[in-house]
């Protein structure tokens, strides 16, 4: 608190040169940039170093996995026609070169992660501050209207330039061509900045940071799905996706810089749009004016669980919509999987030897991806308990005769039940779409089953978040680290050769790869038991500790 | 049951901060008890311990005859609480919040709710985020007053209310206490405390420094006296309990400890009183007396006087 106070003084005490001349909408930007750097002095370096390390580990494991060019060629051969891998990672440009293979392995996951970094950075310093009233305090000083947005974008530009350079240097350090390395680093940085700009725009639209980030998340998801469908299909759709633009730079496979112009142009347009909206709206307001609500509460709003559902239903509905769309997109690819393979005999042999069916393994991978994304809901829904508590809203409920157990159980129920809803919805979306295309309704069942098999893994994530909430509330946000860990294990674990003890920490590793493999009740029961244990620990901790701030 | 709240030697620490340092508090059933203290003196911490939200490190706290930590749920059915800083759910209307809190407590009186909405001029259809601070406060006040709980725990309930609403609040509290219900009122508005409270406790740095009825407390402090006498005044400065005397021949102004008022008057009567005005101490003076050294230090440093 003291630190924030000092920084606010600094902002107030440093009227820029423009202030003397009557002031512009950008007055005070420089002071705010310093303020943001001060507030994010830990967070930003963690993001930048974390992403760089991820790139470095992935790149060096490609080297150790394929010691010779012959190994690389052999490893690359089956990937050309594997729709599951292409949908997940990206187009197969230059994967017979070390550089190209590294870029392919970092894949869409890398792009999504830099986008998240940009989203959280901008959301935190624009709408989140406005929502809590901090922006009002700052804007009452000598500070231009556009300064908060401008300042965070300046910080984002600097952070992504640094991140891009570090990614490039990481690749250069693995002895791959410098030209491709710098192109790839630039593409990653530019893509991250683009989503910083997307969030700058969505932050003007919604009154709530949660919703602003949700809208930006939809944009990330759409750009991933469009690209996945485009890359596994004809390719035209990928040009509608910013992720497609970044990947079409073809690092190490022709090195084209011009697609980045699209990214730059889109960024400029988004900034212009954001500033135009900012000039038209009130501080604290969004584009939609709030409507009056009912004077009396509906009967459902009489129990804690009714309130929890009411508070979380919009979020659950948007997650469900997003995951159904993702499921439908993957489902629609199912028929193409075999075609894509074409005459790639090497891969067909491998699949045949493994005894699996190509389409089944595609759906197994797709379901894992969907379940990992649904993990975002599981964590954020459970952590709603913490935000309700730290905002002071839980306090008034806890003194109405609602015990701690009932209150905590209400949001817990939404998190556990919501996880089931998401997997059922996405599984049905994927299964029914594929069944329709394949003209065999029987295909839907196994895919739905595969999706449901991940429910206990999601419950473990809920359990981790709940245990942290009960036992170490100040560290509750560390539950996100568990999800990030599950992503790393699930998408990169085998490539970077993580020890199996580490791999086994992720609950998602214990779910059988249905429909390629059969259902196994043992891991399902074991994961459910682990989740139950974590929930019990959370309740025990919550009963013993102080409630409130 | 004659004691609604009984607290003795309560200690609560947050890390190195000792928020409560042996606090005592007694609230009798049916009284309105004022709970005074400067910012950060531990009022809200005490209230949160009494509500079972915080767990005390040591000391004893009894609320409505029960243990606030172990019997929280059972006790909460018999009390209502208004926090000093009300945070509402941004997308729930005020009416929904009032109904929700009432139902969670086990039902609310519809007619009473509507009457209070009217008296406090609160629009129940507005969403949480569109209320001003005062109106957010009204939502919590209406939700609390619409119940018939036997104990009301109010933590600066009128912060942000305008003077008209403040008057409505006082009127409503008087009606409630006429029914024999108990109120613990933490407040900075001394006029409100003087108007409503039967007894007050003044705390400072986590300890109770004074407790009693307003009359008792007045007795502990000083009365200001201005006097004109027939004969020149002397000997006044030597009297016990007389402070800051300004004597000019036959006129004098001084403060006197209320306990010593009688002896001062006897001395003056001997000199032939021509006119006399005396002012009982206001609650504000009581309050200032207890934080006086702090205040003196601050103004002394600040203005160089």
The answer to whether A2 contacts chain B (CB < 8 Å) is no
Nearest-angstrom CA–CA distance, A418 and A134: 33
pLDDT value, residue A341: 58
A contact residues 91-130, partner B, Cβ 8 Å cutoff: none
Task: Express each pLDDT in A387-439 by its tens digit.
Answer: 999 988 999 999 998 899 999 999 999 999 999 999 999 999 999 999 998 88
CA distance A191 to A197: 10
Query: Could you tell me if A294 lies within 8 Å of chain B, comparing CB atoms?
Result: yes
Element (H or E) spanning B224, and its range? strand B222-229
Contact B151, B179 (CB under 8 A): no
Percent of chain A residues topping a pLDDT of 90: 63
pLDDT at B256: 87
Contact with chain A for residue B53, Cβ under 8 A: yes
Q: What is the CATH number of the domain that holds B29?
A: 3.40.50.300
pLDDT at A344: 59
Same domain, yes or no: B232 and B142: no
- What is residue B303's predicted lDDT score, i.e. its pLDDT? 36
Q: Do B228 and B96 fall within a single domain? A: no
Identify the pLDDT of residue A14: 45
Confidence of residue B304 (pLDDT cuts 50, 70, 90): very low
Q: How does DSSP assign A436-447, residue by residue?
A: HHHT-GGGHHHH
Closest-CA distance of chain B to residue A308, Å: 11
Query: Do B228 and B212 fall into the same domain?
Result: no
Alpha helices in A133-172 (DSSP H): 134-139, 147-172
pLDDT range class, residue B210, cuts 50, 70, 90: confident
Structure tokens at A101: 């293979």
Q: What is the mean pLDDT of chain A?
A: 89
List the single residue in A304, A393, A403 with the smallest CB-CB distance to B87: A393
Distance (Å) from the alpha carbon of A400 to chain B's nearest alpha carbon: 5
- Contact yes or no for B92 and A293 at CB 8 A: yes
Tell me: cis bond preceding A384? Omega within 30 of 0 counts.
no
Sorted by sequence, the CB contacts under 8 Å of residue A344 that are 6+ apart come out as A77, A78, A80, A81
| Dihedral class, residue B160 (left if φ above 0, else alpha if ψ from -120 to 50, else beta) | left
Q: Has residue B89 been placed in a domain?
A: yes
Q: What mean pLDDT is predicted for residues A284-305?
A: 85
B244, B148: one domain: no
pLDDT tens readout for residues A315-352: 899 899 989 988 998 888 877 776 665 555 555 665 55
In a domain, B190, yes or no: yes
Q: Does pLDDT of A50 surpass 80? A: yes
- Residue B195: inside a domain: yes
pLDDT of A478 over the 60 cut: yes
Contact, B217 vs B200, CB < 8 A? Answer: yes
Distance, in angstroms, between A324 CA and closest chain B CA? 26
Q: Is A289 on the interface with B (CB under 8 A)?
A: no
Q: Report residue B95 CA to chain centroid gap.
A: 29
How many other β-carbons are positioned within 10 Å of the β-carbon of residue B71?
A: 14
The C-alpha atoms of residue A519 and residue A500 are separated, in whole angstroms, by: 22
pLDDT at B22 over 70: yes
Q: With an 8 Å Cβ cutoff, is B182 touching chain A?
A: no
**B138 at the A interface (CB within 8 A)?**
no
CB A252, CB A175: distance < 8 Å: no
Q: Do A546 and B103 touch (CB under 8 A)?
A: no
Nearest CA in chain A to B77: A401
Most confident stretch, A142-146, A270-274, A354-358, B130-134: A270-274
What whole-number distance in Å separates Cα of residue B145 and Cα of residue B150?
Answer: 11
Identify which of A293, A392, A402 has the shortest CB distance to residue B104: A402
Shortest distance, CA A544 to any CA of chain B (angstroms): 8
Integer CA distances (angstroms), B151 to A193, B15, B145, B258, in order: 56, 31, 11, 34
Question: Are both B197 and B259 inside the same structural domain?
Answer: no
pLDDT (mean) for B145-151: 91
* Among A220, A231, A164, A159, residue whose Cα is nearest residue A195: A220
Cβ neighbours of B127 in A, within 8 Å: 290-293
CA distance A53 to A166: 9
Of the listed ranges A497-506, B89-98, B144-153, B213-222, the one predicted with least confidence: B213-222
Considering only residues 300 to 329 of chain A, which have any Cβ-Cβ distance to chain B shorter than 8 Å? 301-304, 307, 310-311
Q: Is A178 on the interface with B (CB under 8 A)?
A: no
Q: B232: domain CATH number?
A: 3.30.70.260
Please report the pLDDT score of residue B279 as a whole number.
Answer: 81
Q: Does residue A134 sit at the B interface (CB-CB below 8 Å)?
A: no
| Alpha-helical regions (H) of B42-162 | 43-50, 72-76, 94-104, 110-119, 133-145
- In 3D, which of A507, A508, A488 has the Cα closest to residue A498? A488
Residues whose CB is less than 8 angstroms from the CB of residue A265 and which lie 6 or more positions away in sequence, other chains included: none
Query: For residue A290, which residues of chain B lie inside 8 Å, CB to CB?
Result: 127, 129-130
User: A396, A403, A547: which to substitute to probe chain B, counting the most B Cβ within 10 Å?
Assistant: A396
**Total-model pTM:** 0.83
> Looking at the domain assignment, is residue B292 inside a domain?
no
In chain B, the N- to C-terminal Cα span, in Å, equals 53
Q: Across residues A11-27, what is the average pLDDT? A: 56
Is pLDDT at A1 greater than 50 in this prediction?
Answer: no
**Structural domain of B233:** 222-280
Is pLDDT above 70 for A484?
Answer: yes
Q: What is the pLDDT of residues B234-273, one digit of tens each?
A: 888 888 888 888 888 899 998 888 788 888 889 988 888 9
In a shared domain, residues B179 and B68 = yes
Q: Chain B residues with CB inside 8 Å of A407's CB? A: none
- Is residue A401 within 8 angstroms of chain B, CB to CB? yes
Residue B65 lies in a domain: yes
- C-alpha Rg value of chain A to the nearest Å: 24
Residues of chain A numbered 362-391 and touching chain B (CB < 8 Å): 391
The reply to whether B122 and B264 lie within a common domain is no
- Going by pLDDT thresholds of 50, 70 and 90, the confidence category of residue B181 is very high
pLDDT band at A137; cut points 50, 70, 90: confident
Half-sphere exposure of B164 (CA within 13 A, CB side): 4
With an 8 Å Cβ cutoff, is A404 touching chain B? yes
* CB atoms inside a 10 Å sphere around CB A291: 10
Contact A293 B73 (CB under 8 A): no
d(CA B11, CA A256): 69
Q: Closest to B100 (Cβ–Cβ): which among A291, A297, A546?
A: A297
* A299 shares contact with chain B (CB less than 8 Å): no
Contact A205, A187 (CB under 8 A): no
Residue A126: name the closest of A288, A271, A291 by CA. A271
Which residue is associated with the tokens 């350090």?
Answer: A173
Selecting from A290, A398, A402 the residue whose C-beta is nearest the C-beta of B53 gives A398
> Which residues of chain A are within 8 Å of residue B99 when distances are taken between CB atoms?
296-297, 301-302
Residues of B in contact with A301 (CB under 8 A): 96, 99-100, 103
Flag whether pLDDT at A12 surpasses 50. no
- Do B156 and B237 share a structural domain? no
Q: Of B216, B251, B272, which marks where a domain is finished?
A: B216
**Domain match, B195 and B94 both:** yes
In order of B76, B112, B145, the CA distances from A300 in angstroms are 22, 22, 23
Rounded distance between C-alpha atoms, residue A450 and residue A448, angstroms: 5
pLDDT at B301 over 80: no
- Are A278 and A200 contacting, i.e. CB atoms less than 8 angstroms apart? no
What span, in angstroms and rounded, lies between the C-alpha atoms of B106 and A15?
56
pLDDT of residue B168: 95
The SS3 assignment for B182 reads strand
Q: Domain total for chain B?
A: 2
B251 inside domain: yes
Judgement on whether residues B204 and B148 belong to the same structural domain of the protein: yes
Note whether B124 and B154 are within 8 A (CB): no
Do B21 and B163 belong to one domain?
A: yes
φ, ψ dihedrals at B70, nearest 5°: -80, -25
Q: Could you say which DSSP state residue B271 is in?
A: T
With residue A471 as reference, give the H or E element that holds it.
Answer: helix A455-471
To test the contact with chain A by mutation, choose from B19, B73, B129 the residue with the greatest count of A C-beta atoms within 10 A, namely B73
Task: Give the C-alpha separation, B229 to B248, whole Å.
Answer: 11
pLDDT in tens, B60-79: 999 999 999 999 999 999 99
Sheet of strand B32-36: strand arrangement: B79-82, B151-155, B182-186, B32-36, B199-204, B207-213
B125 contacts in chain A (CB < 8 Å): 292-295
Taking CB atoms and an 8 Å cutoff, what residues of chain A touch B144? Answer: none
B170: in domain? yes
**What are all long-range contacts of A405-411, with beta carbons under 8 Å and residues at least 24 apart?**
A405/A539, A405/A543, A406/A304, A407/A304, A408/A466, A408/A469, A408/A470, A408/A538, A408/A539, A408/A542, A409/A304, A409/A305, A410/A303, A410/A304, A410/A305, A410/A307, A410/A308, A411/A308, A411/A312, A411/A381, A411/A382, A411/A384, A411/A385
Asked if pLDDT for residue A296 goes beyond 50, the answer is yes
* A9 vs A507, higher pLDDT: A507
**Domain's final residue, options B216, B236, B266:** B216
> Mean pLDDT across the stretch B124-132?
90
Nearest CA in chain B to A396: B81
Structure tokens at A402: 């609602």
Q: Which of A23-37, A68-82, A338-352, A528-542 has the highest mean pLDDT?
A: A528-542
Q: Does the structure show a pLDDT above 70 at A15?
A: no
Which of A208, A301, A307 has its CB closest to that of B90? A208
B105 → closest Cβ in A295, A400, A547: A400
The dihedral over CA atoms of B174, B179, B184, B185, expressed in degrees to the nearest 10, equals -10
Q: Does A302 sit within 8 Å of B104, measured CB to CB? A: yes
Final residue in a domain of this structure, among B163, B190, B216: B216
Any domain includes B112: yes
For chain B, how many helices (H) and strands (E)?
10, 13
Question: Does one domain contain both B239 and B166?
Answer: no
Q: Which of A294, A307, A403 sits opposite B72 (nearest CB)?
A: A403
Compute the residue count for chain A. 549
pLDDT at residue B299, as a whole number: 57
Q: How far is B16 from chain A (nearest CA, A)?
A: 16
Contact between B120 and B149 (Cβ < 8 Å) = no
Instruction: Select the residue from B76, B96, B107 to test the A interface by mutation, using most A Cβ atoms within 10 A.
Output: B96
Residue in chain B closest to A546 (alpha carbons) equals B54
Q: How many CB pairs under 8 A join A and B?
A: 109
Apex CA A536: angle with CA A531 and CA A538, to 5°?
A: 95
pLDDT of residue B12: 95
Mean pLDDT for the stretch of residues B14-26? 93
Rounded to two decimals, the ipTM of the complex is: 0.79
């Amino acid at each position: 608190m003291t630190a924030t106070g000092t920084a606010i003084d600094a902002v107030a005490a440093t009227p820029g040169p423009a202030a003397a001349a009557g002031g512009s909408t950008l007055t005070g930007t420089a002071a705010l940039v310093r303020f943001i750097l001060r507030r994010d002095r830990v967070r930003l370096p963690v993001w930048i170093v974390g992403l760089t390390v991820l790139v470095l580990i992935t790149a060096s494991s490609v080297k150790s996995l394929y010691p010779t060019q012959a190994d690389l060629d052999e490893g690359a051969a089956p990937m050309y026609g594997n729709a599951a891998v292409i949908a997940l990672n990206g187009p197969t440009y230059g994967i017979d070169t070390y550089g190209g293979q590294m870029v392919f392995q970092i894949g869409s996951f890398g792009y999504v992660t830099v986008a998240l970094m940009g989203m959280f950075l901008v959301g935190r310093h624009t709408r989140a501050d406005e929502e809590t009233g901090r922006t009002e305090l700052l804007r009452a000083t000598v500070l231009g209207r556009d300064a908060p947005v401008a300042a965070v974008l300046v910080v984002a530009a600097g952070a992504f330039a640094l991140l891009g350079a570090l990614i490039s240097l990481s690749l250069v350090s693995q002895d791959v061509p410098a030209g491709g390395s710098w192109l790839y680093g630039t593409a990653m940085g530019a893509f991250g900045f683009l989503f910083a700009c997307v969030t700058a725009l969505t932050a003007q639209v919604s009154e709530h940071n949660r919703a602003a980030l949700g809208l930006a998340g939809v944009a990330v998801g759409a750009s991933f799905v469009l690209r996945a469908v485009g890359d596994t299909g004809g390719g035209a759709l990928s040009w509608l996706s910013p992720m497609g633009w970044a990947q079409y730079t073809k690092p190490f496979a022709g090195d084209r810089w011009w697609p980045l112009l699209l990214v730059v142009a889109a960024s400029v347009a988004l900034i212009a749009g954001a500033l135009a909206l900012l000039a038209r709206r009130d501080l604290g307001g969004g584009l939609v004016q709030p409507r009056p609500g009912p004077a009396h509460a509906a009967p459902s709003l009489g129990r804690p669980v009714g309130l929890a559902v009411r508070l979380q239903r919009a979020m659950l509905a948007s997650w469900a919509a997003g995951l159904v769309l993702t499921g439908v997109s993957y489902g629609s690819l199912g028929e193409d999987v075999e075609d894509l393979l074409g005459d790639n005999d090497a891969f067909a042999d491998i699949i045949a030897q493994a005894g699996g069916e190509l389409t089944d393994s595609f759906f197994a991978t797709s379901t894992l991806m969907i379940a990992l994304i649904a993990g975002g809901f599981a964590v954020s829904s459970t952590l709603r308990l913490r935000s309700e508590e730290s905002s002071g809203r839980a306090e008034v409920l806890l003194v109405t005769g609602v015990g701690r157990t009932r209150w905590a159980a209400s949001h817990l129920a939404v998190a556990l039940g919501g996880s089931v809803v998401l997997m059922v919805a996405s599984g049905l979306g994927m299964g029914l779409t594929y069944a329709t295309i394949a003209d065999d309704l029987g295909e839907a069942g196994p895919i739905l089953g595969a999706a449901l098999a991940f429910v206990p893994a999601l419950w473990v994530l809920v359990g981790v978040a709940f245990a942290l909430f009960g036992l170490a509330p100040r560290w509750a946000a560390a539950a996100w680290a568990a999800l990030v860990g599950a992503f790393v294990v699930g998408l990169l674990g085998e490539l970077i050769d993580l020890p199996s003890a580490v791999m086994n920490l992720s609950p998602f590793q214990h779910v059988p790869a249905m429909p390629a493999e059969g259902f196994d009740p043992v891991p399902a029961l074991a994961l459910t038991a682990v989740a139950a244990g974590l929930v019990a620990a959370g309740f025990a901790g919550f009963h013993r500790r102080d409630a409130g701030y | 049951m004659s004691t609604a709240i009984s607290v003795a030697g309560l200690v609560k620490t947050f890390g190195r901060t000792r928020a409560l340092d042996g606090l005592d508090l007694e609230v009798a059933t049916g009284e309105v008890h004022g709970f005074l203290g400067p910012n950060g003196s531990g009022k809200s911490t005490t209230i949160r311990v009494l509500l079972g939200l915080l767990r005390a490190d040591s000391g004893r706290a009894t609320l409505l005859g029960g243990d606030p930590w172990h019997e929280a749920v059972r006790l909460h059915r018999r009390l209502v609480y208004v926090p000093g800083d009300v945070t509402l759910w941004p997308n729930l209307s005020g009416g929904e919040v009032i109904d929700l809190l009432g139902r969670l407590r086990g039902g609310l009186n519809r007619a009473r709710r509507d009457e209070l909405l009217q008296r406090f001029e609160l629009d129940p259809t507005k969403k949480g985020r569109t209320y001003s601070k005062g109106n957010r406060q009204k939502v919590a006040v209406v939700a609390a007053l619409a119940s018939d709980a036997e104990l009301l725990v109010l933590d600066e309930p009128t912060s942000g209310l305008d003077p008209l609403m403040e008057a409505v609040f006082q009127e409503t509290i008087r009606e409630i206490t006429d029914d024999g219900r108990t109120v613990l009122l933490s407040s900075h508005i001394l006029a409100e405390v003087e108007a409503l409270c039967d007894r007050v406790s003044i705390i400072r740095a986590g300890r109770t420094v004074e407790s009693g009825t307003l009359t008792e407390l007045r007795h502990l402090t000083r009365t200001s006296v201005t006097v004109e006498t027939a004969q020149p005044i002397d000997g006044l400065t030597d009297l016990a309990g007389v402070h800051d005397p300004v004597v000019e021949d036959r006129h004098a102004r001084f403060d006197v400890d209320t306990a010593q008022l009688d002896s001062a008057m006897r001395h003056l009567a001997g000199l032939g009183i021509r006119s006399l005005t005396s002012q009982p101490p206001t609650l504000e003076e009581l309050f200032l007396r207890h934080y006086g050294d702090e205040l003196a230090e601050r103004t002394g440093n600040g203005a160089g006087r």
